[in-house]
Structure 1
Amino acid sequence: MRQFLKVTLVATFLLTGANLFAQTVKLGHIDSNKLLSIMPEKDEAQKQIQAQAAEYDNQIKAMQVEYQTLVKAYVEQEATLSEAIKADKQKEIQQLQTRMREFDGFAQTELQNKQNELLKPIFDKASKAIKDVGAENGFTYILDISTGVILFNSDNSVDVMPLVKAKLGLQ
């Protein structure tokens, strides 16, 4: 009988503790992609990135025109060229192809760096606002629903988007 009383008391304590713990967990969720899309800083950053991309694209197009011109001239004159000049022209075409590949790699790297440089402060600002809202409103977790990794989303989960938007001064 004494053993039964101990087991009952322990079970009651555990169930009460679990119930108290469940009551203290406050979940929230936000769609960070949606938040970032309404931040005005992101639009300006995207414009700068697109301008840089257009510059690189124009350079690549100019190189392609140069390449096509070289190849066309080579094909038209091939029959009349000496072997030494053919080899020289082929080498020139191959060097231009190499320059084009290298420039493409350079452009991709530079665009990625520019994107990181311009977008990181915006992501950091949004992240700080989310953390501040979480701390100020007593959330235990705020889940990002834009990633699609949520296995369960209860009706008790609170959408913190309005709070974060207010924190950032967005409408």
Structure 2
Amino acid sequence: MKKIVIIALLLVLSSLGGYAQRFAYVDSDYILKHIPEYNSAQKQLDALSEQWQKEIDIKFANIEDMFKAYQADQVLLNPEMRKKREDEIVQKEQEAKEYQRLKFGFEGELFQVRSKLIKPIQDRVSKAIQAIADAQQLDMVFDKNSEITLLYANPRLDKSNEVITKLGYKPGANK
């Protein structure tokens, strides 16, 4: 909401300046769908994520089994054996949570792989957008899929196909 207010304020202030601002927008999701490397990278990330999630699910299922076995055996165990089994369950749970954090946490392995695979593609898209904006003397280019909400967008201002072409790909009907 704050971004919308700031943009509206910028638009009002720029209109008072005496010359017309030139705006355009792109649809980043649409652009990325036309880049085979992005689709391939996304499939790799999805496969990794699915694999790691299965491993984590197995770890937690094993912990659940250990806990159920402990509950069944609890009355037969002396206090020392109970404490040992409880500690073992807690340790396994901590290990599973740490594994989950290492794979999916902030700056975890999935984040690092995503950065390695996706960042170069995003950089190319950004450079293509910049080149189009410079060539067409655009003052601002918005991404209609970001947090900024467009209430109206004239289709003639959509530069998504030009970005796809600039990247060397053929725009299609994937929109």
Give the TM-score taking structure 1 as reference length. Answer: 0.77
The answer to whether the Cα contact below 8 Å between 1:30 and 1:159 also exists between their aligned partners in 2 is yes
Q: Distance in 1 between matches of 2:53 and 2:151?
A: 44
CA shift in 2, pair 1:97/1:137, >3 Å: same
More divergent stretch after superposition (38-47 vs 58-67): 58-67
Q: Distance in 1 between matches of 2:103 and 2:140?
A: 40
CA shift in 2, pair 1:149/1:73, >3 Å: closer
CA shift in 2, pair 1:49/1:32, >3 Å: same
Report the RMSD for the aligned CA atoms in angstroms: 2.2
Instruction: Tell me how far 1:81 sits from its aligned partner.
Output: 1.3
Instruction: Tell me how far 1:130 sits from its aligned partner.
Output: 0.6
State the 4+ residue runs in structure 1 displaced beyond 4 angstroms: 150-157
Q: Distance in 2 between matches of 1:166 and 1:156?
A: 17
1:32 corresponds to 2:28: yes
Three-state SS of the structure 2 residue aligned to 1:143 is strand
1:162 aligns with 161
Query: Is there any run of 5+ residues in structure 1 with no aligned partner, and where?
Result: 1-16
Three-state SS of the structure 2 residue aligned to 1:138 is coil
1:132 corresponds to 2:127: no
Give the TM-score taking structure 2 as reference length. Answer: 0.76
Percent identity, please.
Answer: 26
Q: Distance in 2 between matches of 1:148 and 1:99?
A: 36
Q: Distance in 2 between matches of 1:56 and 1:46?
A: 15
Deviations 1:45-86 (CA, angstroms, capped at 9, x unpaired): 111111211221122122123212211221221111111111
The answer to whether the Cα contact below 8 Å between 1:28 and 1:141 also exists between their aligned partners in 2 is yes
1:68 aligns with 64
More divergent stretch after superposition (26-35 vs 150-159): 150-159
Instruction: Tell me how far 1:102 sits from its aligned partner.
Output: 1.0
Q: Distance in 2 between matches of 1:86 and 1:154?
A: 66
Query: Is there any run of 5+ residues in structure 2 with no aligned partner, and where?
Result: 1-16, 171-175
The answer to whether the Cα contact below 8 Å between 2:144 and 2:150 also exists between their aligned partners in 1 is no
1:83 aligns with 79
- The number of aligned residues is 151
1:54 corresponds to 2:43: no
Larger radius of gyration: 1
CA shift in 2, pair 1:156/1:89, >3 Å: closer
2:173 aligns with none
Three-state SS of the structure 2 residue aligned to 1:142 is strand
CA shift in 2, pair 1:150/1:87, >3 Å: closer
